[in-house]
Structure 1
């Protein structure tokens, strides 16, 4: 399950497309994103989440950039409780503490460039029938997009007084085209398999998880499934903070995904469903 694909291998694009088709997920190794850079950002942002001044960067509700406190966390579609997390939405044009800006922007740029490359792989290696289903080439959907988002997530240690049935991230699908997720600082990520069972993604530093989002599922007429995943609560013996840093590659709002949706209309609908818009 999810055998790592060598980013530098000759059949990497074909293997990526097949894995995303079969499971909605793929794992890359030997990719250009540096785990040391990721770990440094985890340390820096962990400091941010400890400071009361984080509230100074509260979200701009219209732009959806900045800090989301635990009381603003998403409620996954179909869930009854908010997720147990806080997070920061980073865009190059948005808010960011000045001491974190340079390193965060450097990682954003590197991850965004890789995401664009992987999207081109998907476009090139997809079957002809799937390519014809795209309303426009995938590479054109992201040209001049200002919506690609780096989310820095902090899952605090459990306090013991959490609402019953609340977990760190309830079962959900991502909204965007594809997501790039480096190894988190602690385990907890699980993927729902086709047979309905949950599979724990191993915490393998240096590996990069790629997953399909709802927009690519919509644009491909369902060929690429947007797989359900979640982050479960830690055992009491392992009850520490968890940080993760997904990059969500987004199309421009005007892009036509299907006969039903533009990217902008779809994003707004999903944010309303999540209770954050």
Structure 2
């Protein structure tokens, strides 16, 4: 059912086995082991149509290669919503200062498709998920493809959460009411060709952990750069698996499990000097309802107050604090 990459640190798990009762238990066990060891795994047999993935890359690449003035029509919005010529300084989310990451970005939220009245009920934190999405006019089918992709990955993520519950010895629907109004987001990172040497410490994406429950990412074949930090302090490449999605847990999931599962540092490194290729990365961040409480399921063995609160935290407050650090450098 599983094979491994990166010396077993990032296992490949075949989700097609989840459609039988015994296979579902085996898949959940494999996922639980991966989440406790590295917080990273790759899924195949996930059921996401290959044609949808191809369309997603086509329209997203089509947007980022537009003239600058056309991209700017959906720019200048706070946080992860809309187009950002600077993709942010990801290390700020951990209270670290580095030069800006070498990428452009475009983002949208599931909640950005709700009515103004529905969005007004999403809390008053420093939260970009309360904003309506803005969509570029070109490519013509950009909005349609992004909305379909968000919906399909939302369904996949919901089933992974059921497998998480099984892996933790919980009822399969334990997390369901924490995600029935989820504030998930889809972000496209365009790592443009590097025509000038980066500044010292400047990467395509600086070292960071993700903030939410889980992240689902399809990697382009043959365009590496994603690295995961092992427990021995060594950075390891996560190579693309044809047709696979990289899944990793975020800080909230590590908190929820009382530290049983780990939210692991990762980064996107620069290409070799002279390599002027671009890279497109489109992670889906599956986030709980803004008012969901993430009470730890077990006591922490080794509390780490520098990185997580000591007890329950409301998802919206947690995400708002992280986003504020990321985009403003302040708490």
Q: Normalized against structure 1, the TM-score is what?
A: 0.90
Structure 2 match to 1:255: 292
Cα distance between partner residues in 1 of 2:220 and 2:35 = 21
Greater relative contact order (Cα 8 A, min sep 6): structure 1 or 2? 1
Q: Deviations over 1:193-215 (max 9, x none)?
A: 11111110112220111101011
The answer as to whether partners of 1:34 and 1:206 remain within 8 angstroms in 2 is no
**Is there any run of 5+ residues in structure 2 with no aligned partner, and where?**
1-7, 18-22, 114-132, 296-310
Larger Rg: 2
Structure 2 match to 1:264: 316
Structure 2 match to 1:235: 272
Cα distance between partner residues in 2 of 1:106 and 1:154 = 20
Q: Structure 2 residue aligned with 1:180, among 199, 216, 222?
A: 216
Cα distance between partner residues in 1 of 2:98 and 2:245 = 31
Aligned residues: 268
Matched, 1:153 2:220: no
Aligned residue for 1:195, secondary structure, equals coil
Structure 2 match to 1:198: 235
Structure 1 match to 2:168: 126
Aligned residue for 1:4, secondary structure, equals strand
Runs of 4+ residues deviating >3 angstroms: none
The answer as to whether partners of 2:107 and 2:188 remain within 8 angstroms in 1 is yes
Cα distance between partner residues in 2 of 1:202 and 1:79 = 28
Matched ranges for 1:107-122 at <5 A:
107-122=149-164
Cα distance between partner residues in 2 of 1:20 and 1:107 = 25
Question: Compared with structure 1, are the counterparts of its residues 59 and 263 closer, same or farther at alpha carbon in structure 2 (3 Å cutoff)?
Answer: farther
Cα distance between partner residues in 2 of 1:14 and 1:260 = 26
Aligned residue for 2:150, secondary structure, equals helix
Matched ranges for 1:1-277 at <5 A:
1=8, 2-9=10-17, 10=23, 11-51=26-66, 52=68, 53-61=70-78, 64-70=80-86, 73-76=88-91, 77=94, 78-92=96-110, 93=113, 94-98=133-137, 99=140, 100-127=142-169, 137-145=174-182, 147-184=183-220, 186-258=223-295, 259-276=311-328
Q: Normalized against structure 2, the TM-score is what?
A: 0.76
The answer as to whether partners of 2:83 and 2:107 remain within 8 angstroms in 1 is yes
**Is there any run of 5+ residues in structure 1 with no aligned partner, and where?**
none
Deviation at residue 64 of structure 1 after TM alignment: 4.0
Deviation at residue 75 of structure 1 after TM alignment: 3.7
Deviation at residue 60 of structure 1 after TM alignment: 3.0
